[in-house]
């Protein structure tokens, strides 16, 4: 049974930082591209960042480029999202996801992902 468990969310002031973690089990983590998505109230779930199985390739939404960094540790079966210079518009539930395969723009598409975590709330106050 595949499980993805996010942690690290919370309340932070604008300009602050948070680091999200997603611990994976029940899959061969080192072979899966991983992604982070977010969903704000009343909005669709949107792509934030993705990373290839080898960490060689990363993808970012324009809205977070230069502020967020995705990384992974295949020895710990964990993917991270370092979020700096947070803005109120970053407020959302953040989800990690695993894809059996994705490349290029496919990794931006939530339909390419096979497994999802339960989400962790990030709230940025102004």
The confidence score (pLDDT) of residue 3 equals 98
Q: Residue 105: is its pLDDT beyond 90?
A: no
Rounded Cα distance, 43 and 73, in Å = 31
Report pLDDT digits (tens) over 50-67.
999 999 999 999 999 999
Indicate the pairing of strand 34-39 with strand 46-51.
antiparallel
Report pLDDT digits (tens) over 19-49.
999 999 999 999 999 999 999 999 999 999 9
């Amino acid at each position: 049974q595949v499980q993805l468990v996010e942690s690290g969310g919370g309340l932070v002031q604008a300009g602050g930082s948070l680091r999200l973690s997603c611990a994976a089990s029940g899959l061969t983590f080192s072979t899966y591209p991983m992604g982070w998505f977010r969903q704000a109230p009343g909005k669709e779930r949107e792509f934030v960042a993705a990373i290839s199985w080898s960490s060689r390739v990363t993808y970012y939404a324009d809205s977070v480029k230069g502020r967020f960094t995705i990384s992974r540790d295949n020895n710990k079966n964990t993917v991270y999202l370092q979020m700096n210079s947070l803005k109120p518009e970053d407020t959302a539930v953040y989800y990690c996801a695993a894809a059996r395969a994705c490349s290029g723009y496919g990794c931006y598409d939530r339909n390419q992902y096979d497994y999802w975590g339960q989400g962790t709330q990030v709230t940025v106050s102004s």
